[in-house]
Amino acid sequence: MSATPRSVGPGGYRPVPRVANTLLRPAARLQTLDADAIVDAARRATGLSDFGGEDFREPLGVLTEDLRAHPPSPLGRVLIRLTLTKALANRLRVVAAQRARSEAPADGASAPMVIVGWHRSGTTLLHNLLAALPGFRFLPLYRLAEPVSSLTERVKMWLALQGTWTIAPELRDIHQQHVSGPEEDWTLMMGALCVEGFVMHWNVPGYRRWLDGCDFDPAYQFFRSAVEVAATQDEPGRLVLKDPAHLTALRSLIGAFPNARLIWTHRDPATMVASFASLSAIHHRSMYGVYDPHRAGRASLDRCVHALRRGIQSRDAIGEDRLVDIAYRRLRNDPIGVVLDICDRFGIEVTDGGLRAVTERLQELEAGRRSTHVYSLAKWGLDQQTLADAVSFYDRSRYL
C-alpha cells in the first residue's frame, strides 16, 4: 500500500465535532470539573471505595483548578470529565483486583523490556517487532484502557477510536492505533494522575509545574500494580512496554521494576519536536476547539528538552548494563539487525522461528502504512538554531 503525504489540517473543529460541541453545551454545564465530584463519580461507576492510598488527590486538585481557570470547549469538558472519572474508576478496580490476588505476578510482568525513547523516535516500530518474538507480548490497547477485564472492553475501545478519529481524523495517519494492537502504556499511569500527556494536550500550566517537581515513586508503584493486574487478563509471556514519558522518571521506573531492561531510541531532536508538535496541536484542538501552532511548538520543545535532560541525569543510577541505546536512523535502515542486537545485549536467544516472526511482523507493518507524516519546524514557530541551543547537552553521536 503506497503512503500518501499528510500534514495537520488548519485549526478549528471539523463539521461533525463542531456540531457535537454545540449540542453538548447544556450537558457540559453538568460535567463539574470538581475533584470531589469526580471521585464520587468513580465510586458510583464501580461500587468500590478503596483507592489504595490518597496520593492521587493532590494532582487531581491541581488539574481541576487549572481546568477551571483555563476552561476547555463543551466537547472537551465532557471528554476530560470522562477521562478523569475513568482513570479513577480503573484505579479502584486495579486496587480491588490486586488485593484479591493470591498468586505471584504474571510471568514476564516483573521483568519487562521497556522502550523509553522520546516521542517520534521509532518506539512504535520497535515495540511491534520486539513483541513479535516468541515468548514476548504486548498489552493490547483495549487492555491498557481497561486493566481489569470486562465483557465489553473491545467494543468500548472500538467506539472510542471511532470517536477520536471523527474529532481528529489526522491521528489515523500520524499515529495508527488498533483495538488489539500495542500502544503506549501511559493509560496505566492514569490512576495515579501523573501523566505527561496532560501537559501537552490540556492547558494546565499549574499541573505542569507540579508534575515537574513531584515524587514519581508512588505513581510507579501503582503503575506496577496496574501492569501486573493487566498482565493476568491475557496470554502469558514477557512483556514489552513502551511510553516516552518514562524518560522523565527512569529511576522510579527501575524502582518499581528492578529487573526491567530499558531501550532508549534516539532521533534528531529537531525532527522529534516538529513531529510531536503535530500530535500536541491535534489533541489540544480536540479539547479546546482551536490550536496555536506556536504554543504547540514551544510546548513540544519544552517537554522534549525536559525529558531528555531527566533521562540523561538518570543514566548513571540505572546502570549501562540495563540500558541499550538505539539510533532511529539505524532502526529504519536495519530493523531486524537492531532487534538481534538488543536480544544479544540482554542475553535473549533468537531462533529461526523467532527471526521469521519478526520479519513477518515488519512486512505487515510496511504493507499497512496509510501515509507519511509531513512536518517542519517552521510551521510551529521554531528553527534549527533554537533547537540546537536547547539540546546542546544531548550527545549527537547517539542518534547519528
Residue 5 lies in a domain: no
Q: Is 363 exposed, middle or buried (0-12, 13-18, 19+ CB in 10 A)?
A: exposed
3-class secondary-structure state, position 71: coil
Is it the case that residue 6 has pLDDT exceeding 50?
A: no
Using pLDDT thresholds of 50, 70 and 90, give the confidence band for residue 105.
low
User: Can you tell me the distance from the alpha carbon of 59 to that of 378, in angstroms, rounded to the nearest whole number?
Assistant: 34
319 vs 224, more confident: 224
**Structure letter (DSSP) for residue 110:** S
Measured in degrees and rounded to the nearest 5, phi and psi for residue 43 equal: -65, -45
Residue 2 lies in a domain: no
Which CATH number is 179's domain given?
A: 3.40.50.300
User: Can you tell me the distance from the alpha carbon of 140 to that of 162, in angstroms, rounded to the nearest whole number?
Assistant: 17
Residue 321 lies in a domain: yes
Torsion of CA 280, 285, 195, 279, to 10 degrees: -20
pLDDT tens digits for range 241-252: 999 999 999 999
**Which of 132-136, 275-279, 285-289, 368-372 is predicted least confidently?**
368-372
| Closest C-alpha among 41, 45, 23 to residue 33 | 41
Q: How many domains does the chain have?
A: 1
Structural domain of residue 157, as residue ranges?
10-398
Residue 318 lies in a domain: yes
Mean pLDDT of the chain: 92
| Closest C-alpha among 272, 350, 332 to residue 307 | 272
Which residues have a Cβ under 8 Å from the Cβ of 146 and sit 6 or more positions away? Answer: 90, 153, 156, 157
Nine-digit cell string for 193: 494522575
Residue 29 lies in a domain: yes
Residue 302 lies in a domain: yes
Residue 3 lies in a domain: no
**Structure letter (DSSP) for residue 347:** T
